[in-house]
Amino acid sequence: MAISENVWRDTVNRNTFVSLRKKLGKTQAQMAQLLGVSIKAVHSYEQGWRTIPAHVERQLFFLISRVFEEVNPEKQCWVIKKCPKDRKYNCPAWEFKAGKLCWFINGTICAGHAYKTWKEKIQICRVCEVMSAGFDFVEEASE
Ligand code: SF4
């Protein structure tokens, strides 16, 4: 299934949050514990009373990425993206052996340069073949 760029360019909304929590099979209390936030915070995310912060979005994506099977799981991002050596050796994804978890690390050198914030970086990652290969179900969750 192809990923809708419109969906991916938005931060996780409340419907996506609820759907992903349910896909993980977690209650609000369990989700709060996993995310390191209060149950009240999870409730607020799901009601749309609070914006889902970057660190929570990142943690949520990490949990999802560990549960759902990725496409080409054996391939590292620098292989998939065919990074030239000079870029690869200067990229934190290579330095920290992040492989397909490259999207989790800030400062990776993608689309020509490193982005300073998670919000900027994840917009690039969401439409990148490395991350999107393992997250195609998120489109369903956002509908
Ligand atoms: S754009 Fe993101 S997902 Fe793609 S290779 Fe770079 S860090 Fe990884």
- Structure confidence by residue, pLDDT tens digits, 73-118: 667 899 989 999 999 999 999 999 988 889 999 999 987 889 888 8
Q: Which residue of 58, 76, 77, 113 sits with most ligand 1 atoms within 8 Å of its CB, as the best mutation to test the pocket? A: 77
In this structure, what token pair is assigned to residue 2? Answer: 């192809």
Q: Is the pLDDT of residue 143 over 60?
A: no
Closest residue by CA, ligand 1 atom 1: 125
- Over range 31-55, report the average pLDDT: 96
- Which ligand 1 atom sits closest to the C-alpha of 124? 1
> Class of 5-142 per CATH?
mainly alpha
Q: Give the pLDDT confidence score for residue 68 in this predicted structure.
A: 75
Arithmetic mean of pLDDT, 2-23: 69
Is the CB of residue 8 less than 8 Å from the CB of residue 121? no
Ligand 1 atom closest to the CA of 81, numbered from 1: 5
Cα 82 from Cα 65, distance rounded (Å): 22
Using a 6 Å CB cutoff, which residues line ligand 1?
Answer: 77, 81, 93, 102-103, 108, 110, 124-125, 128, 130-131
In the chain, the percentage of residues whose pLDDT exceeds 90 is 48
Q: What is the DSSP string of 59-111?
A: HHHHHHHHHSPPSSTT--HHHHTT--HHHHHT-HHHHTT-GGGGGGSTT-EET
Average pLDDT of the residues in 112-138: 82
> In the chain, what are the domain boundaries?
5-142
